[in-house]
Amino acid sequence: MTEPLFHAIEPPFVEKIASEAKLSDNADTWAQEVSDELMKQHPYLGTYDVLPVMTETDGDRGFGLGYFQVSSQSAQPPLGPGTKAMRAAQGVKVVKIPIVIREGHLLPLDVFIDSEAKSYPLNQTRLRAALYRWQMFDRLKPTVGDARIAEHLYPPASQSRANQVLTMSEPFSKLSAQKPEYVMEAIAPTVLEGDISRLTNQIEKDAELRRALVHNEACLPLLTFISGLEPTTAHDVAKVAAARIRPDVLQVERQEERYLLKTADSQMFTPQITEADRPSMVELAGEDVVREADRLGAVTISTDPVVRTSLEDEEASPIEQFGEYRVKRTDGQEMLGWVFPVVLDYDGTALPFTIFTNGSESAIQDSIVGSLVGKSANIIRGKPQGYGFFYRVTANGNVIAFQPSEIKGRSVDEKGPLFLVHTLLNQVVRIRLMPNIKQIVVLAKDEDAEEMEVGLPADIRWAPLGTTSTKLVDNAEDFVKQASLNRRHNTVQIISDGQTWSFRGGSGVTKLAHRWREGLTGGDAMFVACALGMSPPLARQTLIKAAQQDAAEVAGCRELHFPEERLAVVRKEAAALFEHLPPKPLLLKEAAALEDVSTVDRVLSVGFINPENVQVFVDYLPEFDKTVSRLAELLLATRVGLQDVPENSVKSAMERLEEVVEGLKKLVFRKLEA
């Protein structure tokens, strides 16, 4: 007696699978019957060539195996000698939809296997992506990895920092955390109290579910981790966000055998204070900084000073780094706007010109002279339309612009967002946004037709060039002679009794907490002054002047922003995007049946998605995509003999996770339009 191939495993807390179709008793007609059922379940397959192949049938046992072979109708070369080679040359792709018949019932047709033997949920979007052929539009093979393509979008960072007291070797390298392996760990600071209560209540009211979770070695560690989390408040979220921003000012102070590290960012001013011993402080701030603190007692460093003391200090010179600048038209009129000195062609080639834009006026020329106002976090951004250019803010703060273009059309297909543009150099380019890359990828190129298709990172933005083109001053001497901008903008007053210092006026100063505004010690006053954009020498000079004369004024200070105002804006934007995601599922029953920790992590984490952490889920899209594929593969295994995992649990987990993944992919495109 043979062992049966299938075993029914149905824990009481899992519902019965739907979508099974009863077949006739005649196995000879099964091929036609399963074809009819496929079109009933997935009518869009009528536009494809679908061929049923039954590899094994047994009418007496009601058992059958096989697959549908699916390819695009336009992708079918004529049959005959050399067909296989022709299909390969033309890039014809074929996917297979498994057919499993059990006890006379056709199991759901909800999974397919692509040409790379990866399994995915069967839906129109996934299928179109799997059958997409670049050869339909271009004659040349993709040049992914071509040595001529720019390896990365990150140009080397400048090793010099203006007005710094000392030279540092990556003093901030330890301040940003690495991407955690598990999503639950990454979103831990943003898990909401209501979601934890929902999980706890569901476990407490279902004893059988509780037993299954406790005895599952893949679930128990994650549930223990979740139970130990502190509920999140808006203030906590703001503090976490502030801690992840590269600071504008850093201060190390020695207190006997201990050290204090203070950091802050002007765009989200929430000073972070860390106490540590010397070895730990060296890890955080660098050996040279700690050595200077040993010598002086305290050292303050400004990473981006913006305050100038005279016209000569405007540092009007050919612009070589991205930022917001004061520039001057050749007719003498000054303007504020963003300057992009690093411009790439769509094949990664550096172009010999610089772009200026403020949204209404623009200039594209070999060189632009200007005076730095600041590296504002609020970089110009518009909806991709008309004439402008794409740009990208890299992880290390650099900004890369792409060749100015006019958008002629846009669409979304199986591969994601797609733009058709005509460039400044008269090229026709199809730009595909790809969330899993950090560099330019040339997908196809036709030299004769001057057409190409490229992949760019999905987090690129669009800057409009406006309707007016102008000519800007490109000579530093002319710029300084003509400088006439009101230097009293954003003036801060510092008053002192000779022992303490207080700050008045200036945009954002009045919102400073009393702790950082009134009666400050010399060290804290230096810290705030540098956060306002003063270089350490200027800050020290100004504090001495205030102590001697009771008060001192500094014009052109940086505007301070605070977590509450930034958080309000971010929450509003995130909430609007969050509306496009499906309701967050709590997949406890599904997780209880899974045995892989990383899969359980993805399945459980989607129950905790919210506006504060939705970007984290976007960052983990590649991992979620792999998990969906792994679940699809596992689902097939349960249908052909795997005994240890309930089929219906895997199916539910796969479908719910796929809904979230599709929502996140659409969200990436919507963010670009915002």
Is there a contact between 339 and 322 (Cβ–Cβ < 8 Å)?
yes
Is a pLDDT exceeding 50 seen at residue 163? no
Q: Could you tell me which residues come within 8 angstroms of residue 408 by beta carbon, excluding any fewer than 6 positions away?
A: 420, 421, 422
pLDDT at 489: 63
Per-domain residue ranges of the chain = 311-482, 492-539
pLDDT at 438: 80
Q: Which residue has the tokens 């504002």?
A: 376
3-state helix, strand, coil in the chain (%, to 5): 35, 25, 40
Give me the mean pLDDT over the 1-17 stretch.
38
Q: Could you give the CA distance from residue 306 to residue 532 in angstroms, rounded to a whole number?
A: 8
pLDDT at 616: 86
Is a pLDDT exceeding 80 seen at residue 476? no
3 state SS of 61: coil
- How far, rounded to the nearest angstrom, does the alpha carbon of residue 267 sit from its chain's CA centroid? 20
Pair of tokens at residue 2: 């043979």
Going from the C-alpha of 205 to that of each of 14, 229, 616, the distances in angstroms are 15, 21, 31
pLDDT at 147: 28
pLDDT at 254: 93
pLDDT at 293: 92
Give me the mean pLDDT over the 170-196 stretch.
70
CA-based nearest residue to 643, from 596, 593, 603: 593
* pLDDT interval class at 111 (50, 70, 90): very high
pLDDT at 546: 95
Give me the mean pLDDT over the 661-667 stretch.
81
Q: Could you give the CA distance from residue 356 to residue 472 in angstroms, rounded to a whole number?
A: 9
The whole-model pTM stands at: 0.54
DSSP element (H, E) containing 87: helix 83-89
Is there a contact between 161 and 204 (Cβ–Cβ < 8 Å)?
no
Q: Give 649's Cβ-side CA count (13 Å radius).
A: 26
pLDDT at 359: 81
Q: Could you give the CA distance from residue 278 to residue 103 in angstroms, rounded to a whole number?
A: 71
Pair of tokens at residue 46: 């009528």
The one-letter code for the residue type at 436 is N
Task: Output DSSP code: residue 329.
Answer: B
Task: Output DSSP code: residue 2.
Answer: P
Q: Could you give the CA distance from residue 652 to residue 635 in angstroms, rounded to a whole number?
A: 10
Q: Could you tell me which residues come within 8 angstroms of residue 390 by beta carbon, excluding any fewer than 6 positions away?
A: 384, 401, 402, 405, 431, 456, 460, 461, 462, 463
Pair of tokens at residue 208: 């059988």
Is there a contact between 129 and 415 (Cβ–Cβ < 8 Å)?
yes
User: pLDDT of 281-333, one tens digit each?
Assistant: 998 888 888 999 999 999 999 877 777 665 444 556 788 889 888 888 887 77
User: pLDDT of 192-207, one tens digit each?
Assistant: 888 888 999 999 999 9
Give me the mean pLDDT over the 48-75 stretch.
87
Is there a contact between 55 and 67 (Cβ–Cβ < 8 Å)?
yes
Q: Where do the H-state alpha helices sit in 105-192?
A: 124-131, 183-187
Q: Could you give the CA distance from residue 213 to residue 224 in angstroms, rounded to a whole number?
A: 11
Is there a contact between 319 and 399 (Cβ–Cβ < 8 Å)?
no
Q: Could you give the CA distance from residue 51 to residue 233 in angstroms, rounded to a whole number?
A: 56
3 state SS of 508: coil
More confident position, 4 or 100: 100
User: pLDDT of 250-273, one tens digit each?
Assistant: 999 999 889 999 998 887 788 889
Q: Could you tell me which residues come within 8 angstroms of residue 483 by beta carbon, excluding any fewer than 6 positions away?
A: 311, 314, 316, 328, 334, 371
Is there a contact between 84 and 77 (Cβ–Cβ < 8 Å)?
no
Average pLDDT of the residues of the chain? 79
Is a pLDDT exceeding 90 seen at residue 501? yes
